[in-house]
Chain A
Amino acid sequence: MTTTQSEVDFEEPGQVPGAPLLEVDDLFVEFRTRDGVAKVLNGVSYRVEPGETLAVLGESGSGKSVTAQTIMGILDMPPGFITGGEIRFHGENLLKASARRRREVRGSGIAMIFQDALSALNPVFTVGFQIEEQLRLRRGMSRKDARKRAVELLDQVKIPNAKGRVRQYPHEFSGGMRQRAMIAMSLALDPEMLIADEPTTALDVTVQAQIMDLLKDIQVERNMGLILITHDLGVVAEVADRIAVMYAGRIVEQSLARDLYRKPGHPYTQGLLDSLPRLDLKGTELRTIKGLPPSLLNVPKGCPFNPRCPRVQDICKTEVPPQHRLAPGRLSACHFAEELISGD
């Protein structure tokens, strides 16, 4: 593994020694559309350390992907506008960094894997070309060396016959192999941080498990920070160290994974856990969270979850709940968080 570039990155002037790997701090993003202003992120904060896996959980439209895109700097602007907050990588605020510096961080500092590898890979270039171009353009490798490295990377993500596969086009790969190729591509510049945006959603269940295992192995091997964006609680349970649950552009609960499963600190998390199909409750009706997530153009007053919340009180309809610190590293944005935890 070559780590020369990452070592150089540590010496960047904006970076603070000893600062966390990645910190999202009170991030606000809105989409200005013809129908009005949609507040997609409303004060999102989380941090990730090297070797740690943070799972960001939430329904479609909760803002989990937008946060990731803002970190990568690939948010469509306009219609997107960042209206507040900071994203610090090794203590350096990326939102204030030059376009050039941001480009340097992409791929080698923070890399990203997308949900649908078929559309995320360029259909008219070979898989090898798409891995090699980063090595050639950003590491100045020769074509020959880049090809060799691309084969190594495909080998690392356990693609059989990597030597032959490197010459093939994305459409010649199966779904799982395509996602592996995508992972190999994201690892090309030895990133310190990997964001996986629903990496297994488009795959079969068995393939999902293989891809998650692979991601976990690679993360441990390289001591990378990993943000795993998903709406699948089952995927999260096995790999996440910590979980951040998002709802309507806010983080409603943040906790160590096992604590969250043992005792959810927010009615929304509780609802999500209850809606998992369970073998021991076979034959009974599956519980669901009633209603739909709010339109971000028109978020309910008070707690955004209040129209769907089974424990709703008057205060929920008027006041936005602050973050309650339930334990070290455990936060919940519910007026009744303490009661939930202490067990009714």
Chain B
Amino acid sequence: MGRYVLRRLLQLIPVFIGTTFLIYWLVWSLPGDAFAGKCGDRPCPDAYVQAMMDKFNLGDPLVVQYGKYMLNVLQGNFGETFRGLDVGELIGDAYPNTIRLALVALAIEAVIGLAAGVLTGLRGRGFLDNLVLVSTLFLISLPVFVTGFVLQITLGFELKWIKTTVSASPAPWEHLIVPGFVLGSLSMAYVTRLTRTSIAENKRADYVRTATAKGLRQRRVVGVHLLRNSAIPVVTFLGTDLGALMGGAIVTEGIFDIKGIGSLVYDGIIGKEGVTVTGVVTLLVMVYLLSNLLVDLLYAVLDPRIRYD
């Protein structure tokens, strides 16, 4: 196991360099003048442009720029925006909101998805099964912005049950329930279907019969023997999804005005703040790679038949 983890960690290095270079290159070679509109109605003075070119090493070849940038990042310095804001601080302010939103979404998809999946998987065909199948299909086919706006308008504007926007930072947990539902709805539908299939497949397994023959209670047979096996693909899916959720949700954060990493990236792209965009995306690449590694390790913990060495 130790050797496997080490090998995976070493593999992260080329992947990290490759992705971040690609991002750096894409961001800084965007067409258009990075200084357009930065100085009000008139073009920026040459002295200002020159100062900025020096500050961000824009005169150097791209590879050299990237190298200098990475050296700073590895020392924990994400640089400054053109306006002089510290990108590290911006990320530090925004990330807790994204993490909270991600955890709420994950909790909702895990609890509702697993419960609905287990219930329909055990019962088999019938009204409940059809209801869940149709409603998950409905959720899967709806784009997030539709779910988001519909819930915001009905629950927020019409019924006034929730606040329409969550502008506060750090965002209070209770304000994140509906946004979390919106963000997690698609995965919730997948979790439901995955659990249902997995339970239905395993419920006639020989080891379930053995557990019953041992005289265990039905609750224990299902809750321990059946669920533990059926949860393997579901937990793996949830782990991967957490990695994706940690990457921020531009649409959901946009609709509910949550000051998370998604909005930060979005504003960075609109404002041509290359340093913000590269900084955030570099961080997200790391988070995603590490969470994938964790999922692979979790998989081995859940299923003892899998050994990595």
Instruction: Determine whether the beta carbon of A119 is less than 8 Å from that of B302.
Output: no
Q: Which B188-227 residues have C-beta < 8 A from chain A?
A: 204-207, 209-217, 220, 224-225
**Is A103 in contact with B229, judged by CB distance below 8 angstroms?**
no
In angstroms, how far is the closest chain A Cβ from the Cβ of B221?
A: 10
Question: Contacts of A185 on B, CB cut-off 8 Å?
Answer: 214
Q: Which of B210-253 contact A (CB under 8 A)?
A: 210-217, 220, 224-225, 228-229, 232
* Interface residues contributed by chain A, number (CB under 8 Å): 28
Interface status of A124 (Cβ within 8 A of chain B): yes
Given contacts A103-B217, A107-B215, A134-B215, contact A76 B204 (CB under 8 A): yes
Judging by beta carbons under 8 Å apart, are B214 and A106 in contact? yes
Quick one: given A124-B302, A124-B304, are A114 and B214 in contact (CB under 8 Å)? no
Please list the residues of chain B having a beta carbon within 8 angstroms of any beta carbon in chain A: 204-207, 209-217, 220, 224-225, 228-229, 232, 302-305
Query: Given A120-B210, A122-B210, 5 other A-B contacts at CB below 8 A?
Result: A74-B213, A111-B213, A119-B207, A123-B207, A124-B232
Q: Shortest beta-carbon distance, A341 to chain B, in Å?
A: 38
Contact A122 B225 (CB under 8 A): yes
Asked if A112 and B213 make an inter-chain contact with CB atoms under 8 angstroms apart, the answer reads yes
A106 to B217 CA separation, bound complex (whole angstroms): 11
Bound: A107/B215 CA distance, A: 6
Interface of chain B, main secondary structure: helix
Chain A: minimal CB distance from B225 (Å): 5
- Using a CB–CB cutoff of 8 Å, the interface residues on chain A facing chain B are 72, 74, 76, 103-108, 111-112, 114, 116, 119-125, 133-134, 137-138, 169, 171, 185, 189
* Nearest A-chain residue to B217, judged by Cβ: A103
Chain B residues with Cβ below 8 Å from A133 are 214, 216, 220, 224
Q: Which of A104, A105, A107, A119 contacts B206 (CB 8 A)?
A: A119
Q: Within 8 Å CB of B220, what residues of A?
A: 133, 137
Least Cβ distance of A145 to chain B in Å? 18
Asked whether A123 and B229 contact (CB < 8 A) given A76-B204, A114-B209, A169-B305, the answer is yes
Tell whether, in the assembled complex, residue A72 and residue B216 are in contact, meaning their CB atoms are under 8 Å apart: no
With A121-B207, A122-B229, A123-B229 given, is the CB distance from A74 to B305 under 8 Å?
no
22 residue pairs from A and B, CB less than 8 Å apart: A76-B204, A103-B217, A106-B214, A106-B215, A116-B206, A119-B206, A119-B207, A120-B206, A121-B207, A122-B207, A122-B210, A122-B211, A124-B229, A124-B303, A125-B228, A133-B220, A134-B216, A137-B217, A137-B220, A138-B215, A169-B304, A185-B214
- The answer to whether A104 and B215 touch across the interface, beta carbons within 8 angstroms, is yes
Residues of chain A lying within 8 A (CB to CB) of residue B210: 114, 120-122
Q: If A120-B207, A122-B207 touch, does A106 touch B213 (CB 8 Å cutoff)?
A: yes
Most buried by A among B209, B213, B225, B304: B213
* A123 lies within 8 A of B214 (CB): no
Q: How far is the CB of A141 from chain B (nearest CB, A)?
A: 15
Nearest first, the 5 closest Cβ-Cβ pairs linking A and B are A107-B215, A106-B215, A119-B206, A122-B207, A120-B206
Query: Min CB distance, A13 to chain B, in Å?
Result: 19
Q: Which of A111, A120, A125, A169 contacts B209 (CB 8 A)?
A: A120
Please determine whether A123 and B305 come into contact, CB atoms closer than 8 angstroms: yes
Is there an interface contact between A103 and B215, defined as CB atoms closer than 8 Å? yes
CB-nearest residue of chain A to B209: A74
State how many angstroms separate the Cβ of A224 from the closest Cβ of chain B.
16
Q: Once the chains bind, are A123 and B304 in contact (CB under 8 Å)? A: yes
Give the Cβ gap from A122 to chain B, nearest Cβ, in Å. Answer: 4
| Cα–Cα, bound, A189→B213 (Å) | 12
A125 to B229 alpha-carbon distance, docked (Å): 10
Q: Tell me which residues across on chain B come within 8 A of A171, comparing CB atoms.
A: 304-305
How far, in whole Å, are A107 and B214 apart by their CA atoms in the complex? Answer: 5
Closest Cβ of chain A to B223, distance in Å, is 12
A105's nearest neighbour on chain B, judged by CB, is: B215
* Residues on the B chain within 8 Å of A138, using CB: 215
Chain B residue, CB-CB nearest to A182: B210
Most chain A C-beta atoms within 10 Å of own C-beta, residue among B215, B224, B303: B215
Task: Say whether B206 contacts A134, CB under 8 Å.
Answer: no
Docked pose: A104 CA to B215 CA in angstroms:
6
Q: A76-B204, A122-B225, A124-B303 are in contact. Are A189 and B209 (CB under 8 A)?
A: no
The listed residue (A108, A123, A125) touching B215 by CB distance below 8 A is: A108
How far is A343 from B232 in the complex, measured between Cα atoms in Å? 62
Least CB separation from A111: chain B residue: B213
Chain A residue at minimal CB-CB distance from B225: A122
Across the interface, B216 reaches (CB within 8 A) one of A112, A125, A137, namely: A137
Which residues of chain A are within 8 angstroms of B206 by Cβ–Cβ distance?
114, 116, 119-120
Residue of B nearest to A191 (CB): B215
Residue numbers in B under 8 Å from A103 (CB-CB): 215-217
Which residues of B are found within 8 Å of A114, using beta-carbon distances?
A: 206, 209-210
Contact A134 B303 (CB under 8 A): no
Interface centre among A103, A104, A111, A171 (most CB of B within 10 A): A103
Report A-chain residues with C-beta under 8 Å of the C-beta of B229.
Answer: 122-124
